[in-house]
Amino acid sequence: MTPAVSSVPALAPVLLVNPRSFRASRWGRAGRAARLARRAGLEVIEASDPAGFRAAFDALHARRVPQVWLFSGDGTIHWLAEYLHTLPDGWSPELLLLGGGRANVVPREGGGYPPMRALSRALAVHRTGRPMRRLTITTLRVTQQGQPERHGFFLAGGMVHEGVRVCSEHRARGTGWLHRSLAADFYALLKLLVQVAVGRSPLPPYTHMGVGMDDGRELPVSPIRILLASTLGMREALYNPFADMGEGPVRATAIAANAPHFWRHLPGMLRGRFPRGPATATGVLSGRCRELLVQGLADFSLDGEHFRADPALPVRIGPGFTLTVIRP
């Protein structure tokens, strides 16, 4: 899809809208956001598929636009991070991240949620000519021999990845309310739980993985129920499933399938509270580190996008490069 572009001064901020992102597509938000931006003198680009994103990113890069406002979901932000890390000339615009998707993990981190309210604040600041507040976020770098280097912000493996996959496949199967509404993921997961309860689970068996942090903490090879990693603080997210311990830019959680009292501990673990004791006893490894090494990983999601890995080779998860985010 060729991005739709309006012509205004090259050094003004540019608003990039993905009109198919979940919240951007509801109640005319994408159109309203575009009209507000144009009235304030901003250029607006619309793109909604990989070819359109690439064309939009190329156009912004060619002009070295200093500030890009994104009204999109986590997936679009992921593809921008992937694009920026391949550039040899160091172009890295300031980013205003407006939460137009479903989860909006990254926009919440950058203060861009709810999106229309954040956009209105940003336009008000832009009209005065004052600078916005700046913060930096670091990408999560995922590498494996023979595989492309990946950059994103939130990695999910194990049953969380399978849940993301089930929800994505469910949404792709139709265009009606049950497939496209805010309740679509809840319906897909509820259906999955019923299938599991009656012994007809479509999920694969737990994958045997070994997970180790660079400071020596590890969860030995065992069936793993959950694997999560991120470089985000997630202070404004709906969940924050990482223990407040250790040092380093990478936050990680791995939970074995045989971890005692998993369902009892789950509500607390979603808020960063974990059972005390060594991982070998609790079946849980969580906290900060400089690098995470995973053995046996075959599939994972990165910002909701699905990727495969070679389970015979280790996967290294560490910090990538830094992006500047502006907050209205």
Q: Which residues contact 115 (CB under 8 A, 6 or more apart)?
A: 23, 24, 29, 33, 71, 98, 99, 100, 104, 107
According to the model, what pLDDT value does residue 279 have? 86
Q: What are the helix (H) ranges across 215-316?
A: 262-269, 279-282
Instruction: Check whether 146 has a pLDDT greater than 90.
Output: yes
Secondary structure percentages of the chain, helix, strand, coil, to 5: 30, 30, 40
- Span 10-18, average pLDDT: 82
According to the model, what pLDDT value does residue 9 have? 40
Share of the chain above pLDDT 70, in %: 84
Instruction: Check whether 201 has a pLDDT greater than 90.
Output: no
- Span 62-85, average pLDDT: 92
Report how far residue 207's alpha carbon sits from residue 113's, in angstroms, rounded to the nearest whole number: 35
Domains defined along the chain, listed by start: 4-131 (3.40.50.10330), 143-323 (2.60.200)
Integer Rg of the chain from CA: 20
The distance between the two most distant Cα atoms of the chain, rounded to a whole number of Å, is 62
According to the model, what pLDDT value does residue 73 have? 85
According to the model, what pLDDT value does residue 255 have? 96
Instruction: Check whether 163 has a pLDDT greater than 60.
Output: yes
For strands 250-256 and 218-230, give the pairing: antiparallel
Instruction: Check whether 6 has a pLDDT greater than 50.
Output: no
**Mean pLDDT score of the chain:** 86
Distances, alpha carbon 47 to alpha carbons 44, 53, 147, in Å = 10, 6, 27
According to the model, what pLDDT value does residue 216 have? 95
Report how far residue 189's alpha carbon sits from residue 170's, in angstroms, rounded to the nearest whole number: 10
According to the model, what pLDDT value does residue 48 have? 82
Q: Which residues contact 186 (CB under 8 A, 6 or more apart)?
A: none
According to the model, what pLDDT value does residue 172 have? 59
According to the model, what pLDDT value does residue 7 have? 39
Quick one: pLDDT band at residue 10, thresholds 50, 70, 90? Answer: very low
Instruction: Check whether 2 has a pLDDT greater than 50.
Output: no
Distances, alpha carbon 52 to alpha carbons 19, 22, 311, in Å = 12, 17, 33
pLDDT tens digits for range 203-220: 778 999 999 999 999 999
According to the model, what pLDDT value does residue 197 have? 61
Question: In the chain, what is the straight-line distance between the N-terminal and C-terminal CA atoms, in Å?
Answer: 31
Structural tokens at position 84? 């920026």
Quick one: pLDDT band at residue 191, thresholds 50, 70, 90? Answer: low
Q: How many Cα neighbours within 13 Å face the side chain of 46?
A: 17
pLDDT tens digits for range 112-128: 898 889 999 999 999 98
- Span 258-272, average pLDDT: 91
Closest among 290, 295, 286 to 315, alpha carbons compared: 295
CB 182 within 8 A of CB 112: no
pLDDT tens digits for range 267-318: 999 899 998 888 888 999 999 999 999 999 999 999 989 999 999 999 999 9
Containing 251, the helix (H) or strand (E) segment is strand 250-256
More confident residue, 318 or 51: 318
Quick one: pLDDT band at residue 11, thresholds 50, 70, 90? Answer: low
Instruction: Check whether 148 has a pLDDT greater than 90.
Output: yes
According to the model, what pLDDT value does residue 5 have? 40
